[in-house]
Amino acid sequence: MRIAWFTPYSSKSAIARFSAAVVRDLARQETVDLWYPRTGDALAAEVHSVSFREASEVDPEKLAAYDLLVYNLGNHLPFHREIYEVSRRFPGLCVMHDFVMHHFFAAYYLEHLRRPQAYVAVMKRFAGARGAAVAAEILAGRRPGVWETDEVIRYPLFEEAVRGAHGIVTHSEFFRRQVEAVSPAPVARLYLPYELRPVKSVLSRQELGVPESKLLMITIGHVNPNKRVPSVLQALAANRDLLERIVYVVAGPCEPNRLAELEAIISRHGLEGVVRLAGYVEEEPLQAYLRHADVCINLRFPAIEGASASLVEEMLHGKAVIVTDTGFYSELPDDCVMKIRQEHEQEDLTSALRRLVTDAGLREAVGSRAREFAEQHFRADHYAREFLKFAWDVRSARPLLELADRVAGELKCMGVTAEMQIVDTISRECEQLFCAGPEPWTGSG
């Protein structure tokens, strides 16, 4: 099989590192070419690669030579815009990295294309009249963009990204179920692989400014509202006996308004000597924080990702991690992470913090089980093997999907609607034609 693997390949992209690892293992079994939008800071490629500036540059004749086109899609417009536009012209298999794609499509329609009515249309397509009304209110300035609020979980818009896909890969069961509910294409859940990055040397705790006598707690990544940092600060403020024992570092870029909010909470509760808002952190100190951390806090609500590379990295480092019991995080074994119920966030967070800060044996046990689970499941070689099995399923299902598209187009021209009996009749005929045997294909991975 000859595969074209479309992916961001910027050194700043976690999906780029994912692709580098997976493509390396895929290439041991099949022919794989790496296709990526040109950014000027690409990772080194171990396989033949093709860079392009815009989707319009991609040659249809070159793509026709491949047996499978694979598109890695995520929620960050600058990394994924050109890949998405290629996927619309030449459908293939979509690897979905984010459950919520609303930020991508809001930026795509409102900022890139400058077609606000297209944004209204896509909201109507997947959320009906209510979605269209919400979009119209946003455009009129009567409400904030839903992408800025927890409400975004009601309008994920991943449906637009996978529309017309020949197959779809997710990295969690909860996302797989969501996709299967809206797409006729085969869907598979594969464990998100991750490999720890080699470092020549690790900065000491002293170089990081963390006393040896203190426990180091960290939150890493963009400081978005769903990472619940204010909740952590409030839990620390309510448990002042813990403050002499810890340093809490929040390592990641933060928007000015959010930074001001966090600084105000820190000042109000007198946490200046305990909490450090480090902002964007370069790779070397970031890896040092991870190596020296005693506790990692990886809360998410709402959970907008399909999985979490940062969590997998923390688990591979053997860290005790506190997570919200939702989405991908809920699927992890209960003894590998400390789970927080969102409806009891402060109560559960306080309990988890107190237990982990005061019990070194518990930290070691949870971290050890986390590493064991991560090393067993989040592997690029396993991913490549399971991906190729699924790829053959996708190729087998393609004739049925193409027929379904043609039939749907003809029925639409005839004025047929979804509730008419003819739709069920034609669906049964197609299944009998293409899915002979006692266990016909049902569209599940």
Whether 436 maps to a domain, the answer reads no
How many residues does this entry show for the chain? 445
> In the predicted model, is pLDDT for residue 8 greater than 70?
yes
Q: What is the mean pLDDT of the chain?
A: 92
* Same-domain check for residues 87 and 183: yes
Q: What is the pLDDT of residue 389?
A: 96
Q: What is the pLDDT of residue 112?
A: 98
Write down which residue in 132, 156, 189 finishes a domain.
Answer: 189
* Same-domain check for residues 34 and 89: yes
Q: What is the pLDDT of residue 102?
A: 98
Whether 22 maps to a domain, the answer reads yes
* Same-domain check for residues 274 and 142: no
* Same-domain check for residues 213 and 300: yes
* Number of domain units in the chain: 2
Whether 397 maps to a domain, the answer reads no
Whether 326 maps to a domain, the answer reads yes
Q: For the domain that residue 304 is a member of, what is the CATH number?
A: 3.40.50.2000
Whether 153 maps to a domain, the answer reads yes
Write down which residue in 119, 154, 189 finishes a domain.
Answer: 189
> In the predicted model, is pLDDT for residue 25 greater than 90?
yes
Structure tokens at 161: 């990204």
Mean pLDDT within 264-272: 97
Structure tokens at 200: 């020549």
Whether 195 maps to a domain, the answer reads no
Amino acid at 34: L
Mean pLDDT within 391-420: 67
Mean pLDDT within 145-170: 96
Q: What is the pLDDT of residue 442?
A: 37
* Same-domain check for residues 185 and 209: no
Report the percent of the chain where pLDDT is more than 90.
Answer: 85
Q: For the domain that residue 123 is a member of, what is the CATH number?
A: 3.40.50
Write down which residue in 349, 377, 405 finishes a domain.
Answer: 377
Structure tokens at 311: 């969590």
* Same-domain check for residues 49 and 132: yes
* Same-domain check for residues 258 and 297: yes
Q: What is the pLDDT of residue 397?
A: 66
pLDDT tens-digit map of 350-371: 999 999 999 999 999 999 999 9
Q: Is the peptide bond before 256 cis (omega within 30 degrees of 0)?
A: no
pLDDT band at 444 (very low <50, low <70, confident <90, very high): very low
For 19, the domain range is 2-189
pLDDT band at 441 (very low <50, low <70, confident <90, very high): very low
Amino acid at 33: D
pLDDT band at 181 (very low <50, low <70, confident <90, very high): very high
Strand partners, 259: none
Q: What angle do CA 41, 305, 121 make, to 5 degrees?
A: 95
Structure tokens at 329: 């995080």
* Same-domain check for residues 144 and 210: no
* Same-domain check for residues 81 and 154: yes
pLDDT tens-digit map of 42-99: 999 999 999 999 999 999 999 999 999 999 999 999 999 999 999 999 999 999 999 9
Residues 80, 105 contacting (CB under 8 angstroms): no
pLDDT band at 418 (very low <50, low <70, confident <90, very high): low
Whether 386 maps to a domain, the answer reads no
* Same-domain check for residues 139 and 212: no
* Same-domain check for residues 227 and 122: no
Q: What is the pLDDT of residue 445?
A: 35
CA distances from 46 to 25, 43, 73, 123, 315 (A): 10, 10, 21, 40, 27
Residues 234, 213 contacting (CB under 8 angstroms): no
- Give dist(CA 168, CA 164) in Å, integer: 10
Whether 411 maps to a domain, the answer reads no
* Same-domain check for residues 74 and 124: yes
Structure tokens at 360: 């070194």
Secondary structure (H, E, C), the chain: CEEEEECCCECCCHHHHHHHHHHHHHCCCCEEEEEEECCCCECCCCCCEEEECCHHHCCHHHHCCCCEEEEEECCCHHHHHHHHHHHHHCCCEEEECECCCHHHHHHHHHHHCCCHHHHHHHHHHHHHHHHHHHHHHHHCCCCCCHHHCHHHHHCCCHHHHHCCCCEEEECCHHHHHHHHCCCCCCEEECCCCCCCCCCCCCCCHHHHCCCCCCEEEEEECCCCHHHCHHHHHHHHHCCHHHHHHEEEEEECCCCHHHHHHHHHHHHHCCCCCCEEEEECCCHHHHHHHHHHCCEEEECCCCCCECCCHHHHHHHHCCCEEEEECCHHHHCCCCCCCEEECHHHHHHHHHHHHHHHHHCHHHHHHHHHHHHHHHHHHCCHHHHHHHHHHHHHHHHHHHHHHHHHHHHHHHHHHCCCCCCCHHHHHHHHHHHHHHCCCCCCCCCCC
CA distances from 386 to 4, 5, 46, 174, 374 (A): 17, 16, 21, 19, 17
